[in-house]
Each structure stands twice: as structure tokens, then as C-alpha cells.
Structure 1
Amino acid sequence: MKLSTKGRYGVSAMYDLAVHYGQGPISLKNVAQRQEISEHYLEQLMGTLRKAGFVKSVRGAQGGYSLTKTPEEISVGDIIRVMEGPIAPVDCLLSGKEDNKYCTKACTCVTRGVWAKVGDSITQVLDSITLQDLCNQVENEAGKPQL
């Protein structure tokens, strides 16, 4: 399974907002500069995150984006699912065994169980890491948050 820039940059942008949680709206320009993401692309990502209810936007000179929940309440898995869709290493896991639109052998496939376990493991890891965990990890490694 390979994540696209949408997923990776979405997590980076949310991490940046988590570092600045409680400081009011953070401008897209600042997030883009710190995370080295195109401001135009970041605008698109924030639109997706806003529609999902993870960020809110404030217009105006002092405007920007902020988290709608605490960093402890948002997992990396939440962000990845919003940005990338379901976490599944193979398409056949996106449907049930019966009437699987991705694979006619889903009911009898000997390897489907393997891919399901891989997907479950990935999901478990991503869901176990919160934005606060990322902030704490960076603070512990560097002594201060990486902006």
C-alpha cells in the first residue's frame, strides 16, 4: 500500500495545526511554508479536511485554519481515511465476499484472509497514533516541536 501526497501532506498539515492548537487560526501561508507544501495544493487538502469536520476556517486578515477537536482526539488513521479513502491493501477488501465487484474469486480466494490481516494491522497502527502523539514524539526527539 502506497500513500499519495494527499494523505502524507494531509497528516503534515494537521500536525502543524496540532502544534499550534489553542493559538487561534493559523494562516495557510505559514503552514505551507513550514511543511513545504504548495499553498494552492494545501488549500484543496484543507477543503477536504474542513468538509470532514476536522478543521474550521476563519476568513479575514487574522484568519486561517484551526482544529475542531483536540490533537488527542484525531488519529492519523482518521486523516488517512478522509484523504485517501478506505485503508485496504487490495481492492477486493472494499466489498464483501458475496457479490464482490472487484474479484469474482473473493468467496474462494485463499489469500484474501492474508490481505485482510495486513489491512487490519495497518488500520490498528494508524488508529493508535494521534496528532498529540506526533507532537509529543517530536518534542521528545528534538526537545522542542518541529515547526
Structure 2
Amino acid sequence: MVPIGVNQKTQYALRALYELSVQYRAGPVKIARIAEAQRIPRKFLEVILSELKAMGYVESLRGREGGYVLARPPWEISIGDVIRDVQGPLSPVDCLIGRGGCRLSGQCSFRPLWARAARALEEVYDGTTFQDLVDGITAEEVSEDE
């Protein structure tokens, strides 16, 4: 069974993208700096950055002044998109996304609750960009401004 919530790999990916968002205008950021600033083991970070590159979130620049940069501005990258791309659908329980069997099938009294929780997760994660995090803005504050 897949763990529910944001797994460790996804947390590392989010933290790496956050660090690149903080450094967005400063130019390429070395792996060592990201690893140190976000307390991510370097070997894991190398793999994660490679995957984020393949997903189109980061670009790598070679050479002495090289490192990693965001492929898009931080205000265009939502937390929800990254979570979905790294670990899959947003859901508080596996049965909503078709994983894991449910013995109650169509008779589950909790299904409406789980569906509301999933919508709430999506609203928070999709309503928050990396720029919001850099600026210290929460999804609630973003919703209030709209």
C-alpha cells in the first residue's frame, strides 16, 4: 500500500524547488548549497534534481558557474502540480484514486468525507505557488485576496 500524505522524496523535491525559488534571481545554485540549506542528503538530491529536470521543473547549467535553476518562474509552479508529478494523485485515502480494494465498495459512509478532504487538499496545494512560500503567503491568504 502507498503511504498517504506527502512522502519523504516529495518533501525533498518540494524543498529543493523552494530553495531554487528563494535563489531565483541569483543565478544557478550548486547542489551542495541546496543540500546544505534544505538539509537534504546530497545523493538523494542528485536523483531528485535529475527527475525534476526530466519533469521540466529545473534546468542544469554546466561549467564552473553552473548549477540548477528553475525552468519556470516560481509563481508559475504550484505545490499541487509537483506533488502529483513526484508521487501521484492527491488523496487522503487510496480508495478514492482506485488503489486498494474497499470491502464496502459503494456503501462506504466515509467516502463523501474523504472526497471533501481531497478537494480541500487540492485547494490548498493547487492554490499555493513557490512564490507564495517565498513571500510567506499561505493558501488561506491567497484565497482571501481573490
Q: What TM-score bracket applies, with the shorter chain setting the length?
A: 0.7 to 0.9
Write the letter of the residue equivalent to 2:72: K
Which residue is equivalent to 2:129? 130
2:116 alignment counterpart: 117
What's the secondary structure of 2:25's corresponding residue? coil
- CA distance in 2: counterparts of 1:40 and 1:18, whole angstroms: 21
Give the Cα–Cα distance (whole angstroms) in 1 for the partners of residues 94 and 38 of structure 2.
31
Indicate if the aligned counterparts of 2:94 and 2:100 stay in contact, CA closer than 8 A.
no
Q: Aligned equivalents of 2:112 and 2:65: distance in 1?
A: 51
Structure-2 residue corresponding to 1:84: 87
Provide the identity percentage.
37
1:102: which partner in 2? 101
- Determine if contact 2:58/2:71 at 8 Å carries over to the other structure: yes
Distance in 2 (CA, whole Å) between partners of 1:6 and 1:77 is 15
Which stretch shifts more, 75-84 or 32-41?
Answer: 75-84
Aligned mate of 1:71, from 69, 74, 77: 74
1:106-125 deviations in Å (ceiling 9; x for gaps):
32322112111111101110
Alpha-carbon shift at residue 5 of structure 1 (Å): 1.4
**Secondary structure of 2:5's partner?**
coil
Runs of at least 4 residues off by over 6 Å: none
C-alpha contact 1:106 1:112 (8 A) present in aligned 2: no
The answer (yes or no) to whether the contact 1:90–1:115 under 8 Å persists in 2 is yes
* Residue matched to 1:24: 27
Q: Residue 52 of structure 1 contacts residue 82 of structure 1 at CA under 8 Å; is this kept in 2?
A: yes
Number of residue pairs matched by the alignment: 134
Say whether the 8 Å CA contact 1:26–1:66 is kept in structure 2: yes
State how far apart, in whole Å, the 2-side matches of 1:125 and 1:45 are: 23
Kindly report the root-mean-square deviation, in angstroms, between the aligned alpha carbons of the 2 structures: 1.8
The gaps in structure 1 that reach 5 residues or longer are 139-147
Partner Cα distance (1:36, 1:136) in 2: 21
My pick for the range that moved more, 23-32 or 103-112, is 103-112
- Contact 1:48 1:82 (C-alpha < 8 Å) held by counterparts: no
* Bigger helix share: 2
Q: Matched residues in 2 for 1:120 and 1:68: separation?
A: 28
